[in-house]
Amino acid sequence: MRMPQRSVLACLLTLALATIAGSCGEQDPRDLAADDKPPHVDRDSIGAPGVSDSLFPGAGNGGYDALHYDLDLTVVPGSAKGAKADRVLSGSAAMTAKATQKLSRFNLDLSGLEVHKVTVDGRPAWYRHKGTELVITPRKRLAKGAEFKVVVAYDGNPKALPGKGAPDDGWRSTDDGAFVMGEPRGAMTWYPVNNTLRDPATYDIDITVPGGLTGVSNGTYAGKKAAGDGKQTFSWRNKDQTLPYLTALAVGKFELKQGKTASGVPVVTAIDPRQAAKGRQLAERIPEFVEWGERHFGPYPVSSAGAILDHDPGNQVALETIGRPVYGEVPEDTVFAHEYAHMWFGDSVRLTDWSEIWLNEGFATYAMWMWDDEHDVATMEDQIAAYSDMPAVWEYPPGKVTRPDRVFGAPVYIRGALALHQLRLTVGDKTFTKILKAWTSRYAGKAATVKDFIALAEEESGKSLTKLFDEWLFQPGRPSGF
């Protein structure tokens, strides 16, 4: 039976309640001497510990631009033979980066977990791990413009960031393994990272797991090989510029399948065998969702497609991990359409600041309504009428979110989608599609702001839309006449 529409979205919206607390897994600060004394650090060569996101000022780090991550991880779930409860994850994380200033000290973000060694360009470096900051002092100051490689050896039992009454942000254990939903900040619960919207990178991820289990991530599947001890290593190569929150990891029993869409996009699906009956059917229809998105939003912007359908009963949250969204249950088509829409809105066209999450969630929610309208699930008019009756929708305007616990709120998703509907009514269907396609093509693989969207909509429609957007995105209360 199809879940009633409102409860599907309500599930996505339980996220609204998540309070994203500050630091977690606090460890004693300690300087580990690589050999003798740390080098002199002058103030003007220290990378900033945050990049001043308006909602998460401590997230991300200044002083460098991450280019590529190479993660070599071993995951032995608590339920596996020989598991150590405190050492579920162990690994080595390499980041290749370019210094954007002279740099004698810089940070990575890492929540919980224990760091055992850090090298910079192959030489041991000093480090201190306090809260979610891993502070690294290389032996030699890096010159501005220098490319360097940091390798962090670490292990521990990953835990999601604390959230209140909502699915947590980050690592999530399942009965046969784990998966990650790391939006907005949970990537740092499984690897050291420049955890910001401002620094996408490419990723090679190798996941070693006990026999019988599978490790899944983004990008293309580069095969598996024996890793000794009955373990196997699964290799993933992701060449799309990817934000940390969009990196996927799932470990468990999975059916791994590969295919292609008609236009040649490789499709990889990972399905928990307990979801096989429903999951396979949905997975086979991935080309249909991709083609649907292409019709409305423009060329598919990611170099692979697929889905991770895990088994986490009752968890109806999904996350648009790049090319391969992750689900705790086999979702309704409409949720699948929502996550696919994020490939254009969020994964390809990126946010610059979490306060502008409307550009992701308002658009993906409107995509759900479009899907349902076109597939005779519910008409656009009926959905709009039902949703606009929910008082929570009008609690605050969605254009610039001012509190971390509002990032996934009803106004962002629903009033945000209603705002797009108003735009459509104002400019007409044809121009509306033209605007969406111009947005995804002009900013494909780039960061863009709400201001950029408004400017583009005005340009494409030849209309002044300032008043409409001001009323729908920035003014409190239900817009007059609606």
- Minimum CB–partner distance for residue 184 and ligand ARG (Å): 7
- Minimum CB–partner distance for residue 18 and ligand ARG (Å): 7
User: Cα(274)–Cα(280) distance, rounded to whole angstroms?
Assistant: 11
Burial 399-427 (b: 16+ CB within 10 A, else e): bebeebbbbbbbbbbbbbbbbbbbbbeeb
Nearer to ligand ARG among residue 89 and residue 99 (C-beta): 89
Picked from Zn ion, ligand ARG, none, the partner binding residue 318 (CB below 5 to 8 A depending on kind) is ligand ARG
User: Cα(438)–Cα(456) distance, rounded to whole angstroms?
Assistant: 8
- Minimum CB–partner distance for residue 327 and Zn ion (Å): 12
Q: Per rule CB under 5 A, is residue 188 in the interface with Zn ion?
A: no
Q: Per rule CB under 6 A, is residue 320 in the interface with ligand ARG?
A: yes
The sheet with strand 231-242 has its strands ordered as 123-124, 114-120, 147-156, 89-99, 64-75, 201-209, 231-242, 220-228
Residue 391: cis peptide before it, omega within 30 degrees of 0? no
Nearer to ligand ARG among residue 93 and residue 319 (C-beta): 319
- Minimum CB–partner distance for residue 364 and ligand ARG (Å): 6
Please state, as a whole number, how many other Cβ atoms lie within 10 Å of the Cβ of residue 35.
8
Q: Per rule CB under 5 A, is residue 364 in the interface with Zn ion?
A: yes
- Minimum CB–partner distance for residue 429 and Zn ion (Å): 23
Q: Per rule CB under 6 A, is residue 12 in the interface with ligand ARG?
A: yes
For residue 117, give the amino acid letter: K
- Minimum CB–partner distance for residue 325 and ligand ARG (Å): 8
Picked from ligand ARG, Zn ion, none, the partner binding residue 120 (CB below 5 to 8 A depending on kind) is none
- Minimum CB–partner distance for residue 192 and Zn ion (Å): 26
DSSP letter, residue 222: E
Nearer to Zn ion among residue 329 and residue 361 (C-beta): 361
Here's the x/- map for ligand ARG, 176-205, by CB under 6 A: it reads as -----x-x--x-------------------
Picked from Zn ion, ligand ARG, none, the partner binding residue 133 (CB below 5 to 8 A depending on kind) is none
The contacts found for 281-290 with CB under 8 angstroms, 24 or more apart, are 282/307, 282/309, 282/330, 282/331, 282/333, 282/336, 283/257, 283/307, 283/309, 286/259, 286/261, 287/261, 287/262, 289/336, 289/337, 289/340, 290/261, 290/263, 290/265, 290/340
Q: Hey, which residues between 288 and 317 contact ligand ARG (CB under 6 A)?
A: 317
Applying CB under 6 A, which of residues 53, 72, 155, 169 lies at the interface with ligand ARG? 169
Picked from Zn ion, ligand ARG, none, the partner binding residue 452 (CB below 5 to 8 A depending on kind) is none
- Minimum CB–partner distance for residue 313 and Zn ion (Å): 21
User: Cα(429)–Cα(43) distance, rounded to whole angstroms?
Assistant: 55
Structural tokens at position 257: 């399948």
- Minimum CB–partner distance for residue 185 and ligand ARG (Å): 9
Nearer to ligand ARG among residue 167 and residue 215 (C-beta): 167
Nearest alpha-carbon partner for 366 in 422, 324, 323, 315: 422
Q: Hey, which residues between 32 and 61 contact ligand ARG (CB under 6 A)?
A: none
Of the chain, the end-to-end C-alpha distance in Å amounts to 33
Please state, as a whole number, how many other Cβ atoms lie within 10 Å of the Cβ of residue 168.
18
Tell me the pairing of strands 201-209 and 64-75. Answer: parallel
Burial 212-244 (b: 16+ CB within 10 A, else e): ebbbbbbbbbeebeebeeebbbbbbbbebbbbb
User: Cα(343)–Cα(349) distance, rounded to whole angstroms?
Assistant: 8
Listed in sequence order, the residues at least 6 apart from 137 whose beta carbon sits closer than 8 Å to its beta carbon are: 38, 39, 41, 104, 105, 125, 126, 127
| DSSP bridge partners of 349 | 345
Nearer to Zn ion among residue 97 and residue 364 (C-beta): 364
Picked from ligand ARG, Zn ion, none, the partner binding residue 181 (CB below 5 to 8 A depending on kind) is ligand ARG
# of chain residues touching ligand ARG (CB under 6 A): 15
- Minimum CB–partner distance for residue 409 and ligand ARG (Å): 11
Backbone angles phi, psi at 260, to 5 degrees: -150, 150
Q: Per rule CB under 6 A, is residue 15 in the interface with ligand ARG?
A: yes
* Contact yes or no for 88/75 (Cβ under 8 A): yes
Q: Hey, which residues between 31 and 70 contact Zn ion (CB under 5 A)?
A: none
Q: Hey, which residues between 390 and 449 contact ligand ARG (CB under 6 A)?
A: 408
Picked from ligand ARG, Zn ion, none, the partner binding residue 77 (CB below 5 to 8 A depending on kind) is none
Picked from Zn ion, ligand ARG, none, the partner binding residue 372 (CB below 5 to 8 A depending on kind) is none
- Minimum CB–partner distance for residue 192 and ligand ARG (Å): 19
Nearer to Zn ion among residue 361 and residue 460 (C-beta): 361
Picked from Zn ion, ligand ARG, none, the partner binding residue 407 (CB below 5 to 8 A depending on kind) is none
User: Cα(244)–Cα(353) distance, rounded to whole angstroms?
Assistant: 14
The residues binding Zn ion (CB under 5 A) are 361, 364
The residues binding ligand ARG (CB under 6 A) are 12, 15, 167, 169, 181, 183, 186, 317-320, 338-339, 361, 408
